[in-house]
């Protein structure tokens, strides 16, 4: 589905058997009868993707922000969170963590778990999307203004609640697009774009960019096969801050003597949980098969 600068949505076919297009892509296309055909892809500013054991899964392109939702219940995985943060860093996409359901009893523990991420400079905002929707709207408005934001997170963290709060017409938009595509309304494997201001036109000059949200399916796994093991430390801010002080230029930061990163960890500058996650990811990426 292609949206024109005038806000018209046109169902287009792609040339060739395989489509590499994702939500947020800019394309050149031609009219064919009552539809169109995509001729070429405009160069992307960035592309966020993850990989599982079998295939690459592209999420979206040309993003200004990745908003990762977590919550006290269900308990979020720091490994999943770290993987998403690394993927964003590898694609050079700014990121913000949204701690939702702060009205629940488990919120203090969740805040404590996120303390190392705050310390390393990752913005964290607090939300109670269901209990305090207007306060959440006020918190999110300046963050999302003028940006294209992908909302990411495991199922149950509040992505649908956030979308319905900020885009009341979301269900109508999904129904309209699904009818055009002849697909089911409740497909959970698709990624969708919503204009936050309800505007029907796209400003191509860049003078007044409109805010948009991209909703993504929940995930339980988040592979990083696009990242080489030697790149890993540089994509983790707490590790990156300690780089450049190792005795060996190819230090893995796991067992070598004279490792500046391990010395930083001994000083308490890198949490034990982050050390464990780094070790697990380094081993995983070292054993990957292409």
The answer to whether 101 is annotated as binding is yes
CA-nearest of 132, 123, 207, 117 to 165 is 132
Q: Is 156 annotated as a binding residue?
A: yes
d(CA 251, CA 245): 10
Is position 102 annotated in a ligand binding site? yes
Check residue 160 and give left, alpha or beta (phi > 0: left; psi -120 to 50: alpha): alpha
Phi first, then psi: give them for residue 96, nearest 5 degrees: -140, 140
Determine if residue 154 is labeled as part of a ligand binding site.
yes
* Cα dihedral sign, 69-71-77-79: positive
Residue 286 assigned as binding residue: no
Question: Annotated binding residue at 46?
Answer: no
C-alpha torsion angle, residues 211, 216, 220, 224 (rounded to 10): -70
159 marked among binding-site residues: yes
Is residue 121 marked as binding? no
**Is 157 among the annotated ligand-binding positions?**
yes
Q: Is 178 annotated as a binding residue?
A: no
Residue 80, CA distances (Å) to 99, 153, 211, 281 in order: 14, 9, 27, 11
Residue 250 annotated as binding site? no
Asked if residue 96 belongs to a known ligand binding site, the reply is no
Instruction: Judge contact between 59 and 48, C-beta under 8 A.
Output: yes
Distances (CA, A) of 281 to 102, 200, 233, 234, 269: 30, 43, 10, 13, 19
The span from the CA of 84 to the CA of 50, in Å, is 8
Q: Is 246 annotated as a binding residue?
A: yes
Q: Which residues are annotated as a binding site?
A: 100-103, 153-161, 246, 251, 253, 259
Q: Which residues are annotated as a binding site for GTP?
A: 100-103, 153-161
Q: Which residues are annotated as a binding site for Zn(2+)?
A: 246, 251, 253, 259
């Amino acid at each position: 589905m292609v949206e024109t600068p005038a806000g018209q949505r046109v169902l287009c076919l792609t040339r060739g058997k395989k489509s590499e297009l994702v939500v947020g892509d800019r394309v050149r296309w031609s009219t064919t009868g009552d539809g169109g055909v995509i001729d070429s892809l405009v160069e992307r500013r960035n592309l966020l993707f993850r990989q599982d054991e079998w295939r690459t899964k592209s999420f979206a392109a040309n993003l200004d922000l990745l908003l990762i939702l977590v919550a006290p219940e269900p308990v979020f995985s720091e490994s999943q969170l770290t993987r998403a943060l690394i993927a964003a860093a590898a694609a050079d996409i700014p990121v913000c963590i949204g701690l939702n359901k702060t009205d629940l009893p488990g919120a203090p523990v969740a805040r404590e778990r996120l303390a190392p991420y705050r310390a390393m400079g990752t913005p964290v905002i607090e939300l109670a999307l269901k209990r305090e929707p207007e306060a959440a709207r006020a918190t999110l408005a300046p963050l999302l203004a003028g940006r294209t934001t992908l909302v990411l997170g495991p199922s149950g963290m509040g992505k649908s609640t956030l979308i319905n709060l900020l885009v009341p017409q979301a269900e109508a938009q999904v129904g309209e697009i699904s009818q055009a595509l002849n697909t089911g309304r409740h497909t959970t494997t698709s990624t969708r774009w919503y204009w936050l201001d309800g505007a029907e036109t796209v400003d191509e000059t860049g003078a007044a960019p409109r805010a948009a949200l991209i909703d993504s399916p929940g995930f339980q796994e988040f592979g990083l096969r696009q990242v080489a093991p030697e790149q890993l430390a540089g994509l983790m801010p707490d590790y990156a801050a300690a780089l450049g002080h190792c005795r060996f230029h190819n230090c893995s930061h796991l067992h070598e003597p004279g490792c500046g990163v391990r010395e930083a960890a001994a000083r308490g500058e890198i949490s034990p949980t982050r050390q464990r996650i780094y070790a697990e990811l380094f081993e995983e990426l070292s054993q990957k098969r292409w």
